[in-house]
Structure 1
């Protein structure tokens, strides 16, 4: 679990709520059903118009990564790759067949199966790079759904504020309604800007960082599998892959 994300979300909430209380507005000033409808429902609608259904579903699928970060252990994977290199030297590439059947990671299993099948190193690289590029592209499309929501939300907030001011203008004859009406109008702006900068854009950037970390991890794995296919010395493989490990 990514505690940093939870702390960040909590601090963002405290900043908005605490700021409202400190300014003397109180919690009640932050709630407005009309503003919520315009900003939240409008932002969701705009995101649905932009994204294809498979992309939107994938965005929801990878959203938990922000808190439940996928576990990647490059050091452990380097050790496994070195062990596989030793095994392939002792028993040949067919010695990896049992390992490929036990592997749960589809990318690793496919790479091992290609090794067992005697795939040429260059062909193996092309196949795995194609899988890696396609997965990265699809994951980034999912992350950009939240980025787009971070772009649309402030604009919807302005629309909500303008609509609120229009309602205020219709009550100019009653000065008692002007103050509360204007305050309520600007709640939509708060919803739009706060949700964009404290939620949607940070979530998008967090997902992009996690996707990049996964790409680096799988690129390291790819290089290790290709090196095994080329029959490189296990010690050289370990030295080559150590550069992928972030200290």
Structure 2
């Protein structure tokens, strides 16, 4: 599980609820079915118009990416590429074919296979860059979808509040009942703004951060395999790849 995502969502929503209760509010007054229906499903409907059915089918996968953390350890990756470069320098590129079964990362396996097959380094770079750009575009679409949710949600909340005020003003009875109706009308705005700023927009930013981590990982693989295919000295490859990492992210022996 991605602890920071879960903890952040819980802390943000808890802060709003606890502050509301401390001011004397009642939790039941926030659970207004009409407001929730309009804001949640209205927002999803508006965002659905802007996307395709194939992208909607990817939402469960996005949910797994958001809630579960994929471990990217650049230092371990650099160590692995360094070991492969040593074997390649000693026994030739074809000897790496035996190592493919031990590599779980699909992108890295593809990159090494291109090197083994004897592709020119500029062709390897071109193919890997196309693959990386496709991955980036796919990630951007996921983040953009949640950004759209964050943009539509407050607007739908305002629409819900306007509808509630229209209903309250068209049924003017006692001042007490009218005050309750007006207060209930603003619940829609609360839901719209709250969902946007506590859930949708933070998730969009989290997806961007996760893409940056994966982009660094793919960049290290790309540069490492290309250097390996060029026959660079393993130590040179290691030093080049370590330049992708901040000094505090490197092991003591690499400093």
Residue 244 of structure 1 aligns to a residue in which SS? coil
Maintained 8 Å contact 1:217/1:244: no
What does the per-residue CA deviation read over 1:156-213, in whole Å, with 9 as the maximum and x for residues that have no partner? 0000000000100111133332111011100000000000000000000001110111
Cα separation, 2, equivalents of 1:162 and 1:15:
27
Aligned-pair CA distance for 1:120: 0.8
Aligned-pair CA distance for 1:223: 0.1
Cα separation, 2, equivalents of 1:53 and 1:60:
13
Tell me what 1:167 maps to: 167
Tell me what 2:201 maps to: 201
Cα separation, 1, equivalents of 2:75 and 2:225:
15
Cα separation, 2, equivalents of 1:59 and 1:242:
35
Cα separation, 1, equivalents of 2:196 and 2:74:
33
Tell me how many residue pairs correspond in the alignment: 247
Cα separation, 1, equivalents of 2:66 and 2:245:
22
Cα separation, 1, equivalents of 2:62 and 2:119:
32
Tell me what 1:97 maps to: 97
Moved more, 10-19 or 120-129: 10-19
Structure 1: any 5+ residue segments left out of the alignment? none
Residue 176 of structure 1 aligns to a residue in which SS? helix
Cα separation, 2, equivalents of 1:170 and 1:74:
63
Tell me the TM-score normalized by structure 1: 0.96
Residue 173 of structure 1 aligns to a residue in which SS? coil
Aligned-pair CA distance for 1:241: 0.4
Tell me what 1:113 maps to: 113
Cα separation, 1, equivalents of 2:26 and 2:176:
19
Residue 58 of structure 2 aligns to a residue in which SS? helix
Tell me what 1:40 maps to: 40
Tell me what 2:68 maps to: 68
Aligned-pair CA distance for 1:97: 0.7
Maintained 8 Å contact 1:58/1:139: no
Matched, 1:4 2:4: yes
Moved more, 229-238 or 98-107: 98-107
Cα separation, 2, equivalents of 1:56 and 1:70:
22
Matched, 1:156 2:160: no
Structure 2: any 5+ residue segments left out of the alignment? 250-255
Tell me what 1:53 maps to: 53
Tell me the TM-score normalized by structure 2: 0.93
Residue 104 of structure 2 aligns to a residue in which SS? coil
Cα separation, 2, equivalents of 1:54 and 1:29:
38
Aligned-pair CA distance for 1:18: 0.9
Matched, 1:188 2:188: yes
Cα separation, 1, equivalents of 2:139 and 2:182:
42
Cα separation, 1, equivalents of 2:7 and 2:102:
38
